[in-house]
Structure 1
């Protein structure tokens, strides 16, 4: 299992973030919630930047290496670009607080934080964030981070499907990083610990999209199989 220098730097950055999170989480929960992981502070902005970087990477691939690729490959790259752009926008409420923009009447009435975003909407007394962005997302993460990598290594049909729709396949050390991050965040006491989890999500997924197991599908031309997968 080869971990390149950029990935090592990414993991080192997460290690530092987790060390700080654990320290303040146990010694000064108020500082953790009100400063370190507060709205519009470094943790939230780094998360948004990571998600935006993934979106930019997908768009860059779409415009620079898509010649000779199938329509489905281009569609997959485009969908991922939009998904992560949406995630970045939602993370900072589409710049609402940055530009001091007032929420519309709809969001003032139906958003748990009265902000212009979808993940904090309340529908029939239930937060969309809890149903869609937590429960369903966690199921999707288990499938993507564990199930698909196993099937990819065993089934040519899955390998072909990932290539067809430009889906980056996770390396095992990337899966391990996500599991370790989950365990660390789970023991941090303050309520805003999930902001740190979102940051870890952004960093790890940026590394996944930069250095996937099936990196050959993001090279120029219509490459059917990679020469080396690790």
Structure 2
């Protein structure tokens, strides 16, 4: 197992402190947890947006640093991740709507479950996009990404080449274990807005994955058999 960098140690310590606080407030004062700690535009939500933005910036850093050494598909994959996480950060804070005091358009007032300017709270018919994506599709994707793909990456050559080609970071087993621990801890918090904490844990964990994945050579300038 690779030695943890100082940034990774700080990331895991931040997670531990977050869950100590979340468990304490969640069990002792649900009102404080829901209305202040994990409220809309509260501490937890803003930290989540910052972590998602940090992942996007990390991807852009890799793209800028390694642009002379990597092939177009690697650049495409890295840019796609940068855009994806920037979009997620913007959605998390409704694109700064409440920060800048911007009113939602009529479309979002009528079709958004919270009347906010974002896509993940849109309601189509009787289906809330947020529930469909995060409660179902995302969970399936996460199981595949955290368990199936790491196994396949280590065993199947073409999957390994494909992941490296598009700069897909593969989790270390410590990342998988940490994700499982976070899921268990969040599930026992009695407060209603506990899933805001899970989103923060998601952001922190993905930052750690992009910072130091199992296939860390994809973020290296060395031509390490990427073209075999």
**TM-score of the two chains, using structure 1 as the length reference:** 0.95
Equivalent residue, structure 2, for 1:76: 77
1:77-105 deviation per Cα after TM superposition (whole angstroms, max 9, x unaligned): 01101110010000000000000000000
Q: Note if contact 1:69-1:221 (Cα within 8 Å) is conserved in structure 2.
A: no
Equivalent residue, structure 2, for 1:49: 50
* Structure 1 residues 106 and 189: CA distance shift in structure 2, 3 A: same
Q: Note if contact 1:54-1:84 (Cα within 8 Å) is conserved in structure 2.
A: yes
Stretch deviating more after TM superposition (105-114 or 58-67): 58-67
**TM-score of the two chains, using structure 2 as the length reference:** 0.96
Aligned ranges 1:59-208 → 2 under 5 Å: 59-208=60-209
Aligned ranges 1:14-25 → 2 under 5 Å: 14-25=15-26
* Total equivalences in the alignment: 225
Segments of 4+ moved more than 2 angstroms: none
Over aligned residues, Cα RMSD in angstroms? 1.1
SS at 2:100's partner residue?
A: coil
User: Gapped runs of 5+ residues in structure 1?
Assistant: 226-230
Aligned ranges 1:206-221 → 2 under 5 Å: 206-221=207-222
- Between the aligned partners of 1:167 and 1:66, the Cα distance in structure 2 is 16
User: Gapped runs of 5+ residues in structure 2?
Assistant: none
- Between the aligned partners of 1:129 and 1:54, the Cα distance in structure 2 is 21
